[in-house]
Amino acid sequence: MKSSSMSAGEYGRTLAGVSLNLIVRDVDRSIPFYTEVLGFRALHQTADYAALEREGATIQLHADHTYARQPWGPQLSGAARRGFGVEIRILGIDPDEAERRARARGFTVLAPAKDWPPHGWRDCLIEDPDGYTFSVGVPLQT
């Protein structure tokens, strides 16, 4: 498990652009999906929180109980999938390799890698342990 001496406030001030903040049931269970399948680096990790980065993209994972005081916090206790209706797209990840790594580690592959000529890229659709959906791919070669 990684940790750092940087405070939450110090880290927060380093963020720019779009950053995803995902609420997960178990940070330790989620980390392999983000590091081993998607190739993010864990900058900081505790049992309750992880800061991840890949090519300027940042994802923060927070354990459910850290959001218990939010007005919608009680809804986190249900077994429903998270993030339904949101597809997180990340370009620059080889979809065939991501699919292979996801399958090898027992993660759900919702759609295998395939070319999408109208969209101009090849991608696969995979799901993290809480049901967040990721479409990862690369531009098609012309």
Match 């939450």 to its residue by tokens.
8
Q: Which DSSP category does 80 fall into?
A: P
> How sure is the predictor about 6, in pLDDT bands with cuts at 50, 70 and 90?
low
pLDDT of residue 1: 42
CA 51 – CA 7 distance, rounded (Å): 12
Domains and CATH numbers, the chain: 8-139 (3.10.180.10)
Strands (E) located in the chain = 19-24, 41-45, 49-54, 57-63, 87-91, 108-116, 121-127, 133-139
Q: Which tens digits make up the pLDDT trace of 51-110? A: 999 998 999 999 998 888 888 878 888 777 788 889 999 999 999 999 999 999 999 999
**In this structure, are residues 97 and 124 in contact, taking their beta carbons and an 8 Å threshold?**
no
Question: pTM for this structure?
Answer: 0.86
